[in-house]
């Protein structure tokens, strides 16, 4: 649909080498946008992704940047604007997570997590918004938050804190940037099949089986592609009156207070029960007619 069309717009995506970031960048390109791809230096995935995007007929620019170096981020945004002319959509997708007990969290890990997941999005959004205001661009800023920013999860105290902060950052920036026509929103995924938790030390098969039981939507994890629709809504004219919001994409996990479904009697379809009852009545009537 035309209201979801991003033709003529340029999007900057951080964490573009990741499982979610790369898919989102490609989704933006498929909607007509040119894309600036950013991730840590040395990522081979960026070059491959750039070629995929160019294959859609859109322009792809690669700009490497380590988001754990906040002193470089304002200059990074300035360089992107100087190179591509303007940025209409900023997607703060980069993030890190490490599983550990609260009393085993290394201070350096805490610092890196908060810097990458919260400080960097703030600085990137701040500078991008300044450029947008200066140029009169009524742009879009989209944060990749998490359901962990809304409810906690054991073993991820630093990650939870960073994502909760990102939720409040989204609302705060939306309030200040609304007068300039800039919207700020977040996407809060549930468990998405990516590699961010690949090195988590836990009983993976048992954990995944347990978690799937608690996902109402067919007991399955999500795929990165299933986040593209939410992003296109928030990045395009379709979402022009949405700001300060967090779109949860988690298969219904946060909608469930208690895992009660597995203890209830099986679902019965009223229409099928009616048809079966009607079929039984017709059969009995036919048998009675034969006997008469």
What is the extent of the structural domain holding 69? 2-259
Write down the pLDDT at residue 287: 63
CA atoms within 13 A on the CB side of 112: 10
Residue 163 located in a structural domain:
yes
Of 255, 251, 188, 261, the C-alpha closest to 221 is 251
Q: In angstroms, how far is the first alpha carbon of the chain from the final one?
A: 63
Asked if 159 is an active-site residue, the reply is yes
Distance CA(32)–CA(9), nearest Å, equals 8
Distance CA(2)–CA(287), nearest Å, equals 60
Torsional sign, CA 4, 10, 12, 16: positive
Residue 290 located in a structural domain:
no
Residue 61 located in a structural domain:
yes
Q: Write the CA distances from 118 to 37, 148, 153, integer angstroms.
A: 19, 14, 18
Residue 66 located in a structural domain:
yes
Domain count across the chain: 1
Residue 291 located in a structural domain:
no
Write down the pLDDT at residue 229: 98
Write down the pLDDT at residue 133: 98
Write down the pLDDT at residue 276: 85
Cα three-residue angle 107-108-114, rounded to 5 degrees: 90
In contact, 251 and 188? CB cutoff 8 Å? no
In contact, 235 and 24? CB cutoff 8 Å? no
CATH, residue 10: 3.40.50.720
Write down the pLDDT at residue 285: 63
In contact, 134 and 87? CB cutoff 8 Å? no
Residue 275 located in a structural domain:
no
List of long-range contacts for 101-110, beta carbons under 8 Å, 24+ apart: 101/155, 102/157, 105/157, 105/158, 109/158, 110/158
Catalytic position from the list 159, 211, 241, 267 = 159
Residue 236 located in a structural domain:
yes
Q: Per-residue pLDDT for the chain (292 aa), expressed as one digit of tens each?
A: 799 999 999 999 999 999 999 999 999 999 999 999 999 998 889 999 999 999 999 999 999 999 999 999 999 999 999 999 999 999 999 999 999 999 999 999 999 999 999 999 999 999 999 999 999 999 999 999 999 999 999 999 999 999 999 999 999 999 999 999 999 999 999 999 876 566 677 777 888 888 888 899 999 999 999 999 999 999 999 999 999 999 999 999 999 877 666 777 888 888 888 888 888 776 666 666 665 5
pTM above 0.95, yes or no: no
Residue 274 located in a structural domain:
no
């Amino acid at each position: 649909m035309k209201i979801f069309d991003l033709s003529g717009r340029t999007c900057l995506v951080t964490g573009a080498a990741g499982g979610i970031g790369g898919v989102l960048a490609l989704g933006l390109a498929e909607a007509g946008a040119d894309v600036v791809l950013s991730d840590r230096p040395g990522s081979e995935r960026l070059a491959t992704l750039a070629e995929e995007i160019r294959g859609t007929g859109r322009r792809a620019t690669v700009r490497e940047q380590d988001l754990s170096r906040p002193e470089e981020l304002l200059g990074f945004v300035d360089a992107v604007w100087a190179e591509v002319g303007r940025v209409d959509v900023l997607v703060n997708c980069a993030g890190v997570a490490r599983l550990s007990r609260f009393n085993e969290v290394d201070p350096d890990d805490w610092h890196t997590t908060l810097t990458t997941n919260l400080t960097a999005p703030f600085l990137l959004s701040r500078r991008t918004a300044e450029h947008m205001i200066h140029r009169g661009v009524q742009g879009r800023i989209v944060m990749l938050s998490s359901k962990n920013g809304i409810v906690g999860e054991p073993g991820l105290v630093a990650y939870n804190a960073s994502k909760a902060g990102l939720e409040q950052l989204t609302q705060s920036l939306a309030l200040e940037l609304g007068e300039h026509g800039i919207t700020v929103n977040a996407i809060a995924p549930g468990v998405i099949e990516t590699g961010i938790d690949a090195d988590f030390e836990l009983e993976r098969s048992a954990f995944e089986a347990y978690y799937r039981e608690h996902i109402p939507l067919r007991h399955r994890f999500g795929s990165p592609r299933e986040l593209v629709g939410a992003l296109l809504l928030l990045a395009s004219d379709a979402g022009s009156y949405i700001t300060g919001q967090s779109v949860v994409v988690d298969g219904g996990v946060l909608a469930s207070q208690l895992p009660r479904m597995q203890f209830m009697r099986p679902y019965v379809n009223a229409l099928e029960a009616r048809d079966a009852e009607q079929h039984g009545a017709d059969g009995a009537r036919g048998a009675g007619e034969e006997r008469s």
